[in-house]
Amino acid sequence: MILEVKNLEVRYGLKKAVDGVSFSMSAGESVGLLGANGAGKSSTLKALLGMLRPSGGEIKILGGEPGSFSNFEKLGFAPEEGVPPDYLSGKEYLSFVSRLKKPSKREHSEEVEELLSWFELDPRKPIREYSKGMKRRITLAQAFLGEPDLVVLDEPLNGLDPLMIVKLRNRLNEKRNKGTGLLYSSHILSEVEKCCSRAIILNEGKLVLDAPLDAIQSEYGSIENAFAKTVGDS
């Protein structure tokens, strides 16, 4: 297992944002994390990444505790919000993250150049001069640094143009074929269908469905129906 989550609970004051969520992922699996606004997707992902301390439950990610250095280099994460230090150029920022992730690696520039060119980003321009979609792309680019075993993307498509959406889909499918795990939170169900083989649906902090997409297809007819049934009926 690359990920094991047991009875995860995240509270903000009295509010339980994640309420007893359990699931696991085996190596190379691609899982879509779905749910209405406020369902607890980002809170779940932040807990997995060690960005917030859960109020209950257990998490094991890539063999370690959330936020530990042992799994940091094997994990790629693109948060839904936040901009990298914007006084840096795209190249400076990716080189910085690359060095943090793989301090012993001698040559960082080749991978950095490849990612900048793949995401069609100007290596020299400071990030503050990027457009909204370019800021999203640099956030996504850093998630792929160092060939991670698990890539976690929180609403990666926000602000991306249609061509980049297709390109990202192809990259994710390539990575999948090479055995990279993917945990993909999105509201674009059609895209989740194209990139994932399993879906988890959260509703008001609780896990209400966890099934392979083909099983969802045969039981509900479509992922939209499954979403409407498990989220809409509450």
Ligand X SMILES: Nc1ncnc2c1ncn2[C@@H]1O[C@H](COP(=O)(O)OP(=O)(O)OP(=O)(O)O)[C@@H](O)[C@H]1O
Choice between 39 and 61, CB closer to ligand X: 39
Rg (the chain; Cα; Å)? 18
Question: Considering only 52-60, 78-86, 144-152, 208-216, which stretch makes contact with Mg ion by CB under 5 A?
Answer: 78-86
The answer to whether residue 42 forms part of the interface with Mg ion (CB under 5 A) is yes
- Min dist. Cβ of residue 224 to ligand X (A): 16
Question: Considering only 22-30, 73-81, 128-136, 192-200, which stretch makes contact with Mg ion by CB under 5 A?
Answer: 73-81
Q: Nearest-CA neighbor of 147 among 191, 124, 192, 114?
A: 114
- Give 68's Cβ-side CA count (13 Å radius): 10
**Residue in this structure with the two tokens 């995860």, named with its chain if needed:** 8
Name which of Mg ion, ligand X, none residue 38 binds, using a CB cut-off of 5 to 8 Å depending on partner kind: ligand X
- Min dist. Cβ of residue 27 to ligand X (A): 25
CA separation for the pair 174, 193 (Å, rounded): 15
- Min dist. Cβ of residue 10 to ligand X (A): 8
The answer to whether residue 186 forms part of the interface with Mg ion (CB under 5 A) is no
Which conformational region is residue 35 in: left (phi greater than 0), alpha (psi within -120 to 50 degrees), or beta? left
Choice between 112 and 202, CB closer to Mg ion: 202
- Min dist. Cβ of residue 233 to ligand X (A): 18
Residues of this chain that interact with ligand X (CB under 6 A) are 12, 15, 17, 35, 37-43, 80
Query: Element (H or E) spanning 231, and its range?
Result: none
CB 189 within 8 A of CB 227: yes
Cα 145 to chain centroid, rounded: 14
CB 18 within 8 A of CB 10: yes
Choice between 39 and 223, CB closer to ligand X: 39
CA separation for the pair 41, 205 (Å, rounded): 8
Instruction: Report which residue's Cβ sits closest to Mg ion.
Output: 42
- Min dist. Cβ of residue 40 to ligand X (A): 4
Choice between 17 and 61, CB closer to ligand X: 17
Question: Considering only 42-50, 88-96, 99-107, 208-216, which stretch makes contact with Mg ion by CB under 5 A?
Answer: 42-50
CA separation for the pair 112, 15 (Å, rounded): 41
Per CB under 5 A, residues contacting Mg ion are: 41-42, 80
